[in-house]
Structure 1
């Protein structure tokens, strides 16, 4: 079974070398593996570094990352396509474990959400990685897998039309739903990869989630969502209500038209959602000593997704 690893990139000179090297180190005795790097017009040494590893480099300038991935598939020849982000490195056994998973003809898609490296990480990176982690880690059927590390059979990819090139974000959700509508998509922790550019600060985290939520409304409105995405739907309304309540209570308190207890109640309402999600996380996975850090991360997450959702709704109305 031949495997094609497609790596989209843009100005990734700091990461592309280690990314390719990690894949080549994970090949083992598997000779039927090709690596295709699709560059979107880098102005640094990304393509020079990639070519030095003897891999196939394709230029596809001024395009979405979804279009880059599709371009990589078009020049590849593998029966199975593995999409890998340029700022990731794969764990030992990644290739062998992935091919073993796809020896089951019923499996149409697979992969695993990326993890953070064990060293040189901040509390924000460790905290969000913990909060995203499944309660029962292990092989399981899922609706979608992040495109930083997702595998798909070629015939399935071609049948569904590949990635939606009109989406700047959430293209992996769109792809995953189409694949899992046809058959099993398996999340397998033995296909682990490490993402080396997770947000290190709360501000970086806010910006990333703001960007990730850009196309969330289009996914929800088209029915491509699961109950796990429910926060992305209710957070804008909830946070606006909570923030509005706090502002109104503060103004009324300053005018002697409300009491301090009114303001406190508004703050409690505002914090209830991140508190509930944090409580569920520590109750099922532990790490109670990080409770308040997790609340802060969730506040930033819901705030960013709220702004993204509102922006998406406004953009949809204008169209």
Structure 2
């Protein structure tokens, strides 16, 4: 498909443990007739990220102290393709992706106001978080395309003004909403199969991930009102405050009992609302536990916002 150029933009910071395999997956699975370029936008790495990128044939530019949205925009600025693939360093392309991409490029060439991509699959692993949270997330329908694996056209990218650079997280959802306002269409394509190897596998890593993802939820009152995640955090805070009041006014045990009776009900309701009714009670219990860690992470986002206010 000589008439179609594909630019692959990968933002990176200290990704030496991941980037090499990502670039290898591109080289291995990209259709031979697809002319493409790979651009790695480095955000001040102190490891071998830049050296690895260059050794694999990628173009490298440096943009220190930039948001991930800014990194992606910087990559597009020096790219030459009419079609752009945004990809994270911990994402792997698959054989099925390679078999699908030619048709996708042709479709985008004919329909330049489309955003496509797919939810990244989870590696085969019995890890608690991969099995009971992230693998179930891939089974849900999505209203946007995650920028860890997003494909669109330069025409649409320019039309919406790229990613909003002052956003720390949520820039992909925002990009999709801007595109819809310009007549864009979001189409998920499960044939574009990818694997995400960078999911957190420990409690602390999971909490920190959600803490970072929740940054935009509490940035403005408008964001708070529009965010379901912020609402969940605020409801939990209300339950905590009520528990403390009962603890103080009635008795310590009353407050403790109130909290530990209401929380399982709250968490199980959230879990069923998010993932549907589980097949086994063990799934409900374990996923509810992870949801509790999720709330902790998002709550820390709120506290970070409060502390950062002048």
The alignment's TM-score, normalised by the length of structure 2, stands at 0.87
Separation in structure 1 between the aligned mates of residue 200 and residue 15 of structure 2, nearest angstrom: 16
Match of 1:61 in 2: 64
SS of match in other structure, 1:190:
coil
Q: Deviations over 1:22-54 (max 9, x none)?
A: 011111233311111111222211111111112
CA RMSD of aligned residues (A): 2.6
Match of 1:110 in 2: 116
Identify unmatched segments of 5+ residues in structure 1: 137-141
Aligned CA distance change for structure 1 residues 10 and 248 (closer, same or farther; 3 Å): same
Separation in structure 1 between the aligned mates of residue 250 and residue 130 of structure 2, nearest angstrom: 38
Separation in structure 2 between the aligned mates of residue 222 and residue 58 of structure 1, nearest angstrom: 33
- What pairs up with 1:1-319 in 2 under 5 angstroms? 1-104=4-107, 105-106=110-111, 108-119=114-125, 122-135=127-140, 143-181=143-181, 182-218=183-219, 221=222, 230=228, 232-254=229-251, 260=254, 263-280=256-273, 283-284=276-277, 286=279, 288-309=281-302, 311-312=304-305, 318=309
Q: Deviations over 1:264-285 (max 9, x none)?
A: 3443333333211223456456
Q: CA deviation at 1:168?
A: 1.6
Aligned CA distance change for structure 1 residues 284 and 266 (closer, same or farther; 3 Å): closer
Q: CA deviation at 1:15?
A: 0.9
Q: May I ask how many residue pairs the two structures share in their alignment?
A: 303
Aligned CA distance change for structure 1 residues 219 and 170 (closer, same or farther; 3 Å): farther
SS of match in other structure, 1:147:
coil
SS of match in other structure, 1:93:
helix
Identify unmatched segments of 5+ residues in structure 2: none
Preserved contact between residue 70 and residue 162 of structure 1 (Cα < 8 Å): yes
Q: Deviations over 1:35-87 (max 9, x none)?
A: 11111222211111111112222222232221111111111111111111112
Separation in structure 2 between the aligned mates of residue 29 and residue 56 of structure 1, nearest angstrom: 19
The alignment's TM-score, normalised by the length of structure 1, stands at 0.85
Aligned CA distance change for structure 1 residues 96 and 4 (closer, same or farther; 3 Å): farther
Match of 1:139 in 2: none
